[in-house]
Amino acid sequence: MSTFQAPKGTYDLIPPHSATYLAVREAIAAPLKNSGYGYIETPGFENVELFARGVGESTDIVTKEMYAFETKGGDRLALRPEGTASVLRAALEANLHKAGNLPVKLWYSGSYYRYERPQKGRYRHFSQVGAEAIGAEDPALDAELIILADQSYRALGLRDFRILLNSLGDKECRPVYRAALQDFLRGLDLDEDTRRRVDINPLRVLDDKREAVQKQLAGAPLLRDYLCEACKAYHEQVRELLTAAGVAFEDDEKLVRGLDYYTRTTFEFVHDGLGSQSAVGGGGRYDGLSEMIGGPALPSVGWALGVDRTVLALEAEGITLDIPAATAVYAVPLGEEARRVLFRAVTELRRAGVATDFAFGGKGLKNAMKSANRSGARLALVAGERDLAEGVVQLKDLTSGEQTAVALDAVVDEVRRALS
Ligand code: HAM
């Protein structure tokens, strides 16, 4: 071991386990690519003000969890704690919304950073795959995104997850609710921190996990009773579209998200095998975010699924993904001349699209065959001096142990035939 270790709250993705992460990312991305979402990549850091304004000055993410720093040049930046603000910033900057083709549908995959107290499922560096549909107010778009997330989880074989759905209202009805909730909360016996939260972000108080607080919340006004007609009708349509698609969900009036930009539809995917960090993904509509960061009105909706927690969910359900062995053919040279000849054959096979690896480092036959087996290859190509003198190499089936001599100039064809 070296003197260095991965920083607290982070971990490395190491083969063979890392293959599962890649497969999860691909499984989440596949339905998006299939539904008109284009790939976007933005920098790992942004102007800190983007998140302060976008995610919200009063959120834990901005006040406690952001990796913010000043560069040598005096710029105030932050490692991105989430993707939505960055993606919208990039879309506005590139004028994608002016191309006359709304909604702009984008998907992304990458690393995010939050200075949280680490525990299982909660890390300081984690991965998300996300999707944003920018510039359209249409319940079908909200439904589409939820359906696609559901589809990717089902494709992975996950079953023990639930979809929690809520509407947070809009700029008409939410302020009225907020005021009513504040009135109610100010009559409770709360500590100073929580009282301050009542002033700046009362909806978050509903999310307080402490029993002493939860007890007092019985009888709190419910947002459902304050939704305006437009929000109610919109939400009803989202619900109907999901039901028609056969996607089950649970109405959860208490669902508040940890980011301030949400309006109307909000949802979370929770997995029942994960303990306290049960949210595997979440998202919703953010009709006001564009204006909050200086853009035009662009009602939008999106989600992000956590790759780390999705992998934990697979483990919780005992699902092993069917990941094909990376290597199909493993070449084992015996001697210097064989090394040159087989290395050339390996290059040819790779150029022909056959996944091939080579016994590097002058290993003996026994060790090299061990490596061949470990690689998961179905075939080994073995050659020694005598084979070369005859212009052949030995093609060995690693499952049956059967071995046949094939002409050197027919290796690619013979390997293809054996693999088919
Ligand atoms: P979020 O709910 O903050 O939403 O994060 C989405 C998912 O990222 C979570 O459900 C969780 O799986 C994963 N995640 C978050 N924090 C951590 C952590 N510390 N360790 C491991 N996994 C974590 C957003 O980020 C929004 N940008 C989603 C969105 C997109 N809303 C609209 N568009």
Whose alpha carbon is nearest atom 17 of ligand 1? 122
pLDDT confidence bin for 335, thresholds 50/70/90: very high
Q: What is the pTM of this model?
A: 0.94
Binding site membership of 280 for ligand 1 (Cβ less than 6 Å): yes
59 C-alpha to center of ligand 1: Å?
A: 14
- Of 340, 299, 260, the closest CA to residue 132 belongs to 299
Q: Do 329-419 and 17-173+227-316 fall under one CATH topology? A: no
Quick one: tokens of 317? 């359900």
Whose alpha carbon is nearest atom 16 of ligand 1? 122
- Residue boundaries of the structural domains of the chain: 17-173+227-316, 329-419
Instruction: Fill in the amino acid letter for 384.
Output: G
Check residue 268 and report its DSSP letter. Answer: E
pLDDT digits (tens, 9 = 90+) for 271-328: 999 998 999 999 999 999 999 999 999 999 999 999 999 999 999 999 999 998 889 9
Among 35-44, 159-168, 360-369, the minimum mean pLDDT is found in: 360-369
pLDDT digits (tens, 9 = 90+) for 247-256: 999 999 889 8
**Residues paired with 395 in a beta bridge:** 381, 404
- Do 228 and 170 form a contact (C-beta atoms < 8 A)? yes
Q: What are phi and psi of 161, to 5 degrees?
A: -115, 155
327 C-alpha to center of ligand 1: Å?
A: 34
Binding site membership of 153 for ligand 1 (Cβ less than 6 Å): no
Which residues are CB-neighbours of 317 under 8 A, at least 6 positions away?
Answer: 157, 158, 159, 160, 273
Binding site membership of 128 for ligand 1 (Cβ less than 6 Å): yes
- Quickly tell me which residue has 């359906």 as its tokens: 147
Binding site membership of 54 for ligand 1 (Cβ less than 6 Å): no
Q: Which of 309, 310, 311 to mutate to test the pocket of ligand 1 (most atoms within 8 A of CB)?
A: 309
- Chain-centroid distance of CA 22 in Å reads 10
294 C-alpha to center of ligand 1: Å?
A: 24
Binding site membership of 357 for ligand 1 (Cβ less than 6 Å): no
Whose alpha carbon is nearest atom 15 of ligand 1? 306
Please give the Cα distance from 343 to 267 (Å, whole number): 54
CATH number for the segment(s) 17-173+227-316: 3.30.930.10
198 C-alpha to center of ligand 1: Å?
A: 24
At residue 204, the pLDDT reads 85
- Chain-centroid distance of CA 79 in Å reads 17
Reply yes or no on domain 329-419 having CATH 3.40.50.300. Answer: no
Mean pLDDT of 194-207: 89
Ligand 1 atom with minimal separation from the 84 CA: 27
pLDDT digits (tens, 9 = 90+) for 361-407: 988 999 999 999 999 999 999 999 999 999 999 999 999 999 999 99
Q: What share of the chain is helix, strand, coil (3-state, %, to 5)?
A: 40, 20, 40
CB atoms within 10 A of CB 205: 22
96 C-alpha to center of ligand 1: Å?
A: 25
Return contacts of 224-232, CB within 8 angstroms, 24+ apart: 224/167, 224/253, 226/169, 226/173, 226/174, 226/176, 226/177, 226/180, 227/167, 227/169, 227/173, 228/169, 228/170, 228/172, 228/173, 230/170, 230/172, 231/167, 231/169, 231/170, 231/172, 231/173, 231/264, 232/167
Question: CA quadruple 175, 178, 184, 187: dihedral positive or negative?
Answer: negative
31 C-alpha to center of ligand 1: Å?
A: 19
